[in-house]
Structure 1
Amino acid sequence: MWFFYLMSWIALIVQICFITISVAAGLYYVAELVEEYTVATKKVIWWMIMVTLLVYAGLVLFEDFPAWMLACGVLGQAAHLLILNTFPYFKLSSPAFALSVLLLLLNHYLAFQFFSSVLYSFSEVLAYFTLCLWLVPFALFVSLSANENILPTVAERRHLLDDNDVVTNYFSQKGKKYGLLTFFNYAKDSILPQRNKKVF
């Protein structure tokens, strides 16, 4: 009896490892697609926001959710639309980004408070969190890596150099990359073994 119990825990650990590797590989692939197709990515995220707003409209019409929680969610989606105006360029210090993060945290707090007081099934709670709270922010998080390979645009409001030489500044800043794809490339280079090619 104890052997089979121990075997089930070992199998669970192996399954968690496989799921983690699969999710990492999927995120890496999605991050590469986002970098390659930024215009299509912007359209997909825009449609995700519209679908999420339709879900909120359905919750207003057919469910008895608190108005303050739904209003916070709708305002969060409006903040996501403001972030999308300068896509793929993200400025983490922009008011729209700060507002969207603040509303996301507030909406999580309100949702946890509501779902702890009213009995809903786990699948219904997970559906709310997935479709209303996590879908669009996750898409924006994955698309942060698209910012690494774009040329400076008019979305950059500050002057890049004193003499306004945009191209020189772009190539001097090109080595500094901080995104999801850069993290995965670093993890791939540091964790996976490297094969040395033999030179004859």
Structure 2
Amino acid sequence: MWFMYVLSWLSLLVQVAFVTLAIAAGLYYLAELIEEYTVATRRVIKYLIWFSSAVQAGLFLFERFPALLVGTGLFTNLVYFGLLQTFPFLVLSSPNFILSCVLVVLNHYLAFQFFAEEFFLFSEVLAYFTFCLWLIPFAFFVSLSAGENVLPCTVQAGDDVVSNYFTKGKRGKRSGILLIFSFLKEAILPSRQKIY
């Protein structure tokens, strides 16, 4: 009896390891795609924001969600549109980015408060969190490294594009989330070297 119990825990650890590797590989692939196709990524994020706004409106009209919860969600989506103005460059110290982070926390607080008072199935709560709270911030998070490898194309006030480009160090090196995924890939699956 105890032997089967130990085997079940070992199999659970193996399954968690496989799921973790699959998620890491998927995120790495997504980050690569986003880096290559920043214009298409911007368009996809814009459509995700519109979809999330439509879901919020539908929840208000058909499910009678509170106006404060839906209004905060719609305002957050409006702030996300502001982040798209400079996409793929996201300045982490900009007021727009900081406001979006604060609104994400506020949205989660209001959602937890609402779902603690009202009964919904777990799948319904998960659907709300997925489409209204997690999808767009996750898309921005995965695309954080996309702006680091884009060639400069416009001059902002006080910037010299060429000198700014060369003073930031080597552009061929990866940074951000791709650096983390590359490190994890090499740590877990080291590449083989040819012996001559």
Tell me the TM-score normalized by structure 2: 0.92
* Letter aligned with residue 22 of structure 1: A
Sort the Cα spacing of 1:158 and 1:105 in 2 relative to 1 into closer, same or farther, 3 A: farther
Q: Give, as a single letter, the amino acid of the residue that structure 2 aligns with 1:181.
A: L
Task: Look up the SS of the partner of 1:43 in the other structure.
Answer: helix
Partner residue of 2:158? Answer: 159
- In structure 1, the residue matched to 2:52 is 52
Segments of 5+ residues of structure 1 without an aligned counterpart are none
135-144 vs 7-16, which moves further: 7-16
Q: Which residue does 1:137 correspond to in 2?
A: 137
Separation in 2 of the partners of 1:158 and 1:5?
66
Q: CA deviation at 1:16?
A: 0.6
Q: Equivalents in 1 of 2:176, 2:32: separation in Å?
A: 11
Q: For residue 152 of structure 1, what is the amino acid of its counterpart? A: P
Q: Distance in 1 between matches of 2:145 and 2:14?
A: 30
Aligned length: 194
Corresponding residue for residue 65 of structure 1: 65
Paired with 2:92 and 2:117, the residues of 1 have a C-alpha distance of: 35
Displacement after TM superposition at 1:150 (Å): 1.1
Distance in 2 (CA, whole Å) between partners of 1:7 and 1:158 is: 64
Residue 10 (structure 1) aligns with: 10
SS of 2:112's partner is: helix
Q: Runs (4+) of structure 1 moved beyond 4 Å?
A: none
Query: C-alpha deviations, 1:135-162, integer Å up to 9, x for none?
Result: 01100111111011012344x74634xx
CA deviation after TM superposition for structure 1 residue 124, in Å: 0.7
CA-based RMSD: 1.7
Q: CA deviation at 1:2?
A: 2.1
2:100 matches 1:103: no
Q: 1:191 to 1:19 in 2, by over 3 A?
A: closer
The answer to whether the aligner puts 1:112 opposite 2:107 as a matched pair is no
Identity within the alignment, %: 53
Residue equivalent to 1:91: 91
Question: Which digits, 9 at most, give the CA deviation of each residue in 1:177-200, with x for residues without a partner?
Answer: 54111211222334433433223x
User: What is residue 21 of structure 2 aligned with on the other side?
Assistant: 21
Match of 2:87, SS state, is: coil
